[in-house]
Structure 1
C-alpha cells in the first residue's frame, strides 16, 4: 500500500507517484516514472510505462498497455482492451522519442478502440466500441467506426445532443449548446 492506495499482491508497482484511493489490480505492472492521480482504478492485466501521466478519477479497464508519451487528464474512461501506440513508423531496436498522445478531461474511449500516436481526444469526447482513431477529436464530439468519423455531439454525461432551433440540446442536463468556430460551446442561461 502506497499513499492510501490499494495494490493487489500480484501487481508489480515500481512508482512512488500514486494518489490516495487509487486501486491497482491483479497482474498489472506500473513502471517507476509513471504518475497516477487520486481515486484511479487500474484493472487486471494492465501495463503502464515510465512517461505516462494519469489524472484523478481515471478508469483503465483490463488489458490496456499505456506506453511512454500518453497523458490522460482527470475523469478519463478507457474501455477494455483499448490499444495505444507511441511511434508512427516503428522499427525494431530503433529508439525514437515517443510521440505524445493526450486524452483530455472526461473523455471516454470505447472498448477495443485503437488510438494512433500523436492524437488528442477532446474534453468529454467519446469513441464507440472498436473505433480506429486516426485524427484528433474535438471536445464533446462522438466518433466511431473504422476509421472513426464524426457522428454527433455528446454532453458531459455522454448523452447524444439533440438539434433544436439550430442549437444543440441536452435533455439530461437541460442545457443548450451552439457551434462557434467549429467548437461546441455551452450557452449561459
Structure 2
C-alpha cells in the first residue's frame, strides 16, 4: 500500500508516511514526496515536484516548480534549483570544497544555482560554488568542476563540453536545429548559444 497522505500544513501535496517534513518548510500543491525522505526547515519546494525515495533536502534549499528529484539525492544548504530541473538517481551536490571530519566548515558553504530545465545524470557530482546554466545536460557519472553554460552537454571527469542540447534534451547538430521540436539556436560565441525566438 502506498500510504501517501495529505499533510494539513501543505494542502494539495502528498507525503509518504515514512517521510518527515520539518516545521518551517514549504511544500507546493501537487508535489509528491515518496518513501524515507527528510525535508529540513527553511526549505521551499515548488508545485508539482516529484521527490523520490531516500532524498534529503535542506536546510534552506529552494526548489522550483516541476522539478523531479530521483532516489538517493541530497540537496544541501546553498543549492537552488529553478523550475523543471531533473536530478538523476544518486547524483551528488557537495557543499564545501575541502571537507574534513575534524574541521567545522558550516560557514563556508558555497552556493550552487541550477538553471531552469537542466538535467543531471545518475551518479554525477556537482562541486559546489559552480552554476549550471539553463537546459544544460550533465551526463551520468560526470564531475562538474566549473561553471556550465546554458544548453551545454557535459560529460567526463572533469566534465567537458561535448556539444549542445535543446530545451527538449536532444543533441544539436551543426545546424543547431532541434530534431524533436524544430526550435533553432544560434551561436553567440564558441562557448555560448541561444534559442532564436
**TM-score grouping bracket, smaller chain normalisation:** over 0.9
Q: 2:20·2:39 contact (CA, 8 Å) conserved in 1?
A: yes
Correspondence for 1:54: 63
User: Aligned residue pairs: how many?
Assistant: 185
Q: Give the whole-Å Cα distance in 1 for the aligned partners of 2:97 and 2:29.
A: 35
The equivalent position to 2:14 in structure 1, one of 6, 12, 35, is: 6
Give the alignment's TM-score, normalised by structure 1.
Answer: 0.94
Structure 1 residue aligned with 2:91: 82
- Give the Å deviation of 1:175: 2.4
- Aligned-partner SS, 1:143: strand
* Misfit runs of 4+, over 4 Å: none
Quick check: 2:121–2:140 contact (8 Å CA) kept in 1?
yes
SS of 1:96's partner is helix
Q: Report if aligned partners of 2:25, 2:39 keep a CA contact under 8 Å in 1.
A: no
The match for 2:162 is 151
* Offset, 1:171: 2.0
- Asked whether 1:69 is paired with 2:73, we answer no
- The structure 1 residue matched to 2:119, chosen from 108, 115, 130, is 108
Deviation at residue 97 of structure 1 after TM alignment? 3.5
Q: Which runs of 5+ in 1 are unaligned?
A: none
* 76-85 or 1-10: bigger deviation: 1-10
Separation (CA, whole Å) in 2 of partners of 1:45 and 1:23: 13
Alpha-carbon contact 2:69-2:87 (below 8 Å) kept: yes
